[in-house]
Amino acid sequence: MKKACMFFGCMALVASVTGCGVATIKPSYTITNPELMRIGGEAPGNKEPEIVNMGSYCLRVTEKWKADGKTPDGQPIWTKDSFREAIPCK
């Protein structure tokens, strides 16, 4: 009985050490809309402000990308801010 307990104890120790020694799985991030958020790489380029005619007034839409933290594995998270300003139409 003592040998069986010692055997299973050693097997549990070997299993736990082996599990810790296995290489970690690299995370895979899925983004449904890359126009609003991107992960990794360099900062996306900012577009020039866009003027949108809304009928009786116009909107100036400015979009800027900013670093908004990091993933657990150190990749930057880029999010897009959208600024809207009512302006007179030309």
pLDDT at 22: 60
Strand locations in 1-90, DSSP E?
A: 37-39, 50-53, 58-70, 76-87
Using DSSP, state whether 22 is helix, strand or coil. Answer: coil
What's the pLDDT score for residue 39? 87
**Tens-place pLDDT, residues 32-46:** 777 888 888 888 888
Q: What is the mean pLDDT of residues 44-55?
A: 91
